[in-house]
Amino acid sequence: MSPANNNRIQGLTTIRAFAALHVVFYHMWGHYMPLCQAGWLYDRFVNIGYVGVNLFFILSGYILSYVYLSSAPEPLVDKGKFWKARFARIYPVYAFAFILEIPLVIEHVLQRSDHLRESLIALVTLAANLSLVQAWDMVLKWRWNYPSWTLSVEALFYFLFPLLGVWIWKKSHKGSLLPWMGACYFLLLAPSFLWWATHPRIPENQSPEWLFVQPLFRMPEFTLGVLLMKLQHRWDLEQRAERFAPLLFWGSLAALAGGFAASGLVPVYVLRSGVLDPAFMGLILGIALSKGPVAALLSAGPLVLLGEASYSTYILQAPLQEWVDRIGTAFNVSFCSSGSTNHPLVFTAYLVLLLAGSILSFKYIEVPMRDLIRKTRIELPGWAFRWDPSK
Mean pLDDT calculated for residue range 141-157: 94
Q: Could you tell me if 138 and 149 are in contact, meaning their C-beta atoms sit under 8 angstroms apart?
A: yes
Q: Which of 90, 92, 102, 109 is nearest to 144 (CA)?
A: 102
Res. 220 pLDDT band, cuts 50 70 90: very high
Q: Which of 329, 310, 311 is nearest to 321 (CA)?
A: 329
Q: Could you tell me if 270 and 189 are in contact, meaning their C-beta atoms sit under 8 angstroms apart?
A: yes
Res. 77 pLDDT band, cuts 50 70 90: confident
- Regarding predicted confidence, which is higher, 314 or 110? 314
Q: How far apart are CA 149 and CA 133, in angstroms?
A: 8
pTM of the model: 0.91
Taking only the tens place, the pLDDT of each residue in 113-124 is 888 899 999 999
Question: Residues with Cβ < 8 Å from 56, sequence gap 6 or more?
Answer: 16, 19, 150
Taking only the tens place, the pLDDT of each residue in 223-253 is 999 999 998 887 766 666 667 788 889 999 9
- The amino acid sitting at 148 is S
Quote the strand ranges of the chain, DSSP E. 76-78, 384-386
CA distances for 63 relative to 10, 111, 298, 311, 323, angstroms: 11, 45, 17, 15, 34
Q: Is the pLDDT of residue 390 over 50?
A: no
DSSP 338: T
What residue ranges do the domains of the chain occupy? 3-73+159-379
Taking only the tens place, the pLDDT of each residue in 250-293 is 999 999 999 999 998 999 999 999 999 999 999 999 998 888 78
Q: Which of 219, 248, 226, 220 is nearest to 173 (CA)?
A: 226
- Regarding predicted confidence, which is higher, 202 or 270? 270
Question: Residues with Cβ < 8 Å from 387, sequence gap 6 or more?
Answer: 74, 75, 166, 167, 169, 170
Q: How far apart are CA 187 and CA 167, in angstroms?
A: 18
Q: Is the pLDDT of residue 389 over 50?
A: no
